[in-house]
């Protein structure tokens, strides 16, 4: 009898935790922050008509998303934030800028290839 009560209690506890987690996840998804994505889209719009102001490039380069992109890219290749800055500065040109590899290693070559 006592064992059955404990099992029921354990089931209810697990169900409660799962429901609370689902509710938190739903709340987090409804509060998505698109500021960095909007900033990047704005840079692309501006670049379609001419050079991107340095302030906009500085803003996107300082964003947590850009730091994450650079660190994730460095898992399998070697890239720098300065290479991304060079790319953003040249977006308005008809040809993308020639970006040099950071060094002669294979990882660095993959970063610009």
Q: What is the pLDDT along the chain (113 residues), one digit of tens a residue?
A: 555 555 565 565 556 555 566 666 665 656 667 888 899 899 999 999 999 999 999 999 999 888 888 888 888 888 889 988 998 899 888 888 888 888 888 888 877 76
What does pTM read for this prediction?
A: 0.66
Give the model's pLDDT for residue 76.
Answer: 84
Based on the fold, state whether residues 50 and 96 are members of the same structural domain.
yes
Based on the fold, state whether residues 69 and 20 are members of the same structural domain.
no
Give the model's pLDDT for residue 91.
Answer: 87
Based on the fold, state whether residues 90 and 43 are members of the same structural domain.
yes
Name residues whose C-beta falls within 8 Å of residue 108's C-beta, 6 or more positions apart in sequence.
77, 78, 101, 102
Give the model's pLDDT for residue 59.
Answer: 93
- DSSP-assigned letter for residue 90: T
How many domains are there within the chain? 2
Q: Which domain holds residue 11?
A: 1-32
Based on the fold, state whether residues 16 and 66 are members of the same structural domain.
no
Give the model's pLDDT for residue 25.
Answer: 60
Tell me how crowded residue 60 is: count the other CB atoms within 10 A of its CB.
18
**90 token code pair:** 């040249």
Based on the fold, state whether residues 11 and 58 are members of the same structural domain.
no
Give the model's pLDDT for residue 19.
Answer: 57
Give the model's pLDDT for residue 7.
Answer: 59
Based on the fold, state whether residues 12 and 51 are members of the same structural domain.
no
Integer angstrom CA distances of residue 58 from 22, 53, 61, 89, 112 = 37, 9, 5, 10, 21
């Amino acid at each position: 009898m006592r064992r059955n009560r404990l099992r029921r209690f354990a089931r209810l506890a697990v169900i409660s935790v799962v429901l609370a987690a689902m509710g938190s996840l739903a709340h987090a998804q409804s509060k998505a922050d698109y500021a960095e994505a909007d900033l990047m889209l704005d840079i692309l719009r501006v670049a379609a008509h001419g050079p991107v102001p340095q302030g906009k490039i500085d803003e996107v380069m300082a964003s947590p998303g850009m730091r994450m992109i650079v660190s994730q890219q460095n898992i399998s290749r070697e890239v720098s934030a300065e290479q991304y800055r060079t790319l953003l500065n040249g977006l308005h040109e008809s040809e993308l800028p020639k970006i040099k590899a950071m060094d002669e290693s294979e990882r660095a070559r993959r970063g610009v290839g």
